Amino acid sequence: MSALSEGYTATLSHLDDGAVQAAADQFKSKFVAVTEKLYSETASIYPLRFSKMKDWCDWTKRFYSLTLKTQTALGKGRAEEARSLLSDLRSHFHFLHTTSTTQKSNDFIYAYLLETRADQPEIMELAWLQTLIEFGKPSAKAKAAPAEFAKAESAWSDQIAAVLQDGSLVDGELELLRAATGRFYGDFGVQFE
């Protein structure tokens, strides 16, 4: 999964830089190659850690399909379509981890990010997710760089605490919450695991 994460994040980085062809090349070499291998070897075989997933075959087919659609969009230079499909891929992995109860800190950061995108985020849900981020299993990246994760988590936590201290969101605070969470997600939540 680390190779998928690397390909995914590198693809997003190239798109952010406006380098669609570099994103397409990166996605094809790092992400598509791993996806094809994963699909050919495990399409009908449940990996042990995902044994609670009831529809593994359907999940892998959808994963493969999303990957090919993303590759096509990138190959045709359709950056916004590709970005949307990349978001769908991240959601697809989040669904897998949630369904199989294998979430780690990166999944909780992603869930927090999704909640901040709501028109009216639920403050109690944000508080719960923050607890899961703080005390949940660390992702591979968080484990590999514990000091950096702790520093980023602390900075993010301080920023959102200032926004959420009164238990509600007023004008302008939602944008601050989204921006702080977006940075934290970019550093430690974007990975698939």
Question: Mean pLDDT by 10-residue block, N- to C-terminus, for the chain (193 residues)?
Answer: 89 97 96 91 80 86 96 98 97 94 96 95 95 94 96 96 87 92 96 86
Whether residue 37 lies inside any domain: the answer is yes
Do 146 and 81 have their domain in common? no
Using alpha carbons, select from 164, 87, 90 the residue that is nearest to residue 122. Answer: 164
Do 83 and 137 have their domain in common? no
Do 55 and 113 have their domain in common? no
Do 34 and 88 have their domain in common? yes
Whether residue 36 lies inside any domain: the answer is yes
| Encoded amino acid at 118, one letter | A
Do 91 and 67 have their domain in common? yes
Whether residue 193 lies inside any domain: the answer is no
Do 109 and 95 have their domain in common? no
Do 127 and 178 have their domain in common? yes
Do 21 and 83 have their domain in common? yes
Containing domain of residue 94, as a range?
2-99
| pTM: predicted TM-score of the whole model, two decimal places | 0.91
Do 87 and 23 have their domain in common? yes
Choose the final residue of a domain: 99, 115, 135: 99
Choose the final residue of a domain: 99, 122, 140: 99
**77 torsion bin: left (phi>0), alpha (psi -120 to 50), beta (else):** left
Do 92 and 19 have their domain in common? yes
pLDDT of the residue at 151: 97
Do 130 and 91 have their domain in common? no
Do 90 and 148 have their domain in common? no
How many domains, in total, are found in the chain?
2
Choose the final residue of a domain: 99, 117, 151: 99
Report H helices in the chain. 2-16, 20-26, 33-42, 56-75, 79-99, 105-116, 123-135, 140-144, 146-164, 173-188
